[in-house]
């Protein structure tokens, strides 16, 4: 149980840096620790170069809006 909680805390708290704004509300993010890349859609205005936690960003679910 403790290892499960530890896993959640490791992955749940990952900070991603905004690399670029690809289009309006479309952002390219990079996690320098894990080398993971994410492309997200959000109504929030994110700043290039700033770090954000993924779970703190309100994402737009594109499959819902079809």
Whether residue 9 lies inside any domain: the answer is: no
Q: What is the pLDDT of residues 15-60, one digit of tens each?
A: 999 999 999 999 999 999 999 999 999 999 999 999 999 999 999 9
Q: Is the pLDDT of residue 3 over 80?
A: no
Domain assignment present for 2: no
**pLDDT value for 64:** 73
Does pLDDT of 14 surpass 90? Answer: no
pLDDT for position 11: 46
Structural domain includes residue 5: no
Distances (CA, A) of 43 to 11, 30, 50, 60: 23, 19, 16, 7
Per-residue pLDDT, 52: 97
Predicted TM-score (pTM) of this structure: 0.74
CA 40/CA 2 separation, integer angstroms: 31
- Residues 24-63, buried b or exposed e (16+ Cβ, 10 A)? eeebbbeeeeeeeeeebeeeeebeeeeebebeebeeeeee
Range of the domain at 37: 14-66
In-domain check, residue 29: yes
- 36 occurs within a structural domain: yes
Count of the separate structural domains present in the chain: 1
């Amino acid at each position: 149980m403790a290892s499960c909680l530890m896993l959640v805390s490791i992955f749940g708290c990952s900070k991603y840096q905004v690399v670029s704004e690809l289009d309006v509300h479309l952002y390219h993010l990079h996690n320098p620790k894990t080398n993971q890349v994410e492309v997200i859609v959000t109504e929030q205005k994110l700043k290039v170069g700033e770090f954000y936690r993924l779970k703190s960003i309100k994402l737009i679910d594109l499959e819902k809006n079809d």
